[in-house]
Amino acid sequence: MLEIQNLSKTFPLGRKQRAQTGKTEVTAVDALTLSVSGGEVFGLLGANGAGKTTTLRMLATMLAPTSGTATVGGCDIVTQSADVRRQTGLLFGGDTGLYDRLTAFENIQYFARLNDIEDSVSSARIKRLAEVFRFTEYLERGAGKLSKGTRQKVSFARAIIHDPALMLFDEPTLGLDVTAKKEAEDFILSCRDNGKTIVLSDHTLSVVERLCTRIGILDKGKLLAVGTIGELCAANGCDTLEQVFFKLAGVRNEE
C-alpha cells in the first residue's frame, strides 16, 4: 500500500541558526526507505525533531520531498498527488484546523464535499463516527465552542470521512482524556482490522505498544531500526521498547 524509497527532506536554516551551527541546511528526513501494507499500524518513534512530522507531511503531499519518492496505492506522492490525497486521511494532534464558525457536523461535511462524497452518504457516516467517538451531543455546536478533546475527536472524524485506505496520524491521542484516548485507540485498531494502512507517531510508548504492528525508530531523520517490538528487543538485547528507544535514540532533544 505504502512504498517509501530513499525519501529525504532538507530545510534551509535561517541566518541565526546558520551562525550557531555553521551549517546552511538541516536534514529533517534522511533517505527513508520503508513499505507498509494493509492491516498494519506502523509507529514512528523518535525524539523531538527526529523527522516524524516531516515524513508524515511528505506522505500527505503537503510538503515536497527534496529527493526520493513514495507511492500510495501505486500513486506517486509528487506526480499523482490528487490521487494520493483521495486515498489518504491525515490527522495532526493539537492543531485541528477546524473552522470555528462551522458546527462540528458542518466541518466534517465540508471536508466530505471536498472529497466528492454525497451529503446523504456523509451524513450517515458522520452520525456513525460521532457515536464511535461519543460526540453526538456536540454535532450542532460551533467548533469554536468545543473543548480541545472534542475538537480532536471531530478532527479524527473529518480526517477519515472519505474512508481512506491510508491513514496518517501525527500524535493522534494528544490532548485526549483517558476515556477518549481509549476510544481513539480502539478506533485505530478497528481500522487496522478492516485492512487499512496506518502510519502514526506518538510519544507515549504505551500507545505505540498497544497499537503498532511494527515500529520504526527515527533519529536525526534516519530510520535506525524497524521491526515488531519482539524483533526490536531481540536485536538490541533489551526487554522493553523503552529500553530499545533509549539505547538507539537516546534522550537527545534535537531542537
Per CB under 6 A, residues contacting ligand ATP are 11, 26, 28, 46, 48-54, 254
152 binds, among Mg ion, ligand ATP, none (CB under 5 to 8 A by kind): none
Written as one string, the DSSP assignment of 175-189 is T--HHHHHHHHHHHH
Smallest distance, Mg ion to C-beta of residue 52, A: 5
50 binds, among Mg ion, ligand ATP, none (CB under 5 to 8 A by kind): ligand ATP
203 vs 247 by CB, closer to Mg ion: 203
49 binds, among ligand ATP, Mg ion, none (CB under 5 to 8 A by kind): ligand ATP
Q: Which residues bind Mg ion (CB under 5 A)?
A: 52-53
3 binds, among Mg ion, ligand ATP, none (CB under 5 to 8 A by kind): none
Smallest distance, Mg ion to C-beta of residue 159, A: 16
Nearest position to Mg ion, beta carbon = 53
122 binds, among ligand ATP, Mg ion, none (CB under 5 to 8 A by kind): none
CA geometry: angle at 132 spanning 200 and 143, to 5°? 80
Do residues 245 and 215 make contact, with C-beta atoms less than 8 angstroms apart? Answer: no
Smallest distance, ligand ATP to C-beta of residue 76, A: 21
Smallest distance, ligand ATP to C-beta of residue 44, A: 8
Torsion of CA 241, 244, 249, 250, to 10 degrees: 100
30 vs 183 by CB, closer to ligand ATP: 30
54 binds, among ligand ATP, Mg ion, none (CB under 5 to 8 A by kind): ligand ATP
Smallest distance, Mg ion to C-beta of residue 53, A: 3
Smallest distance, ligand ATP to C-beta of residue 189, A: 23
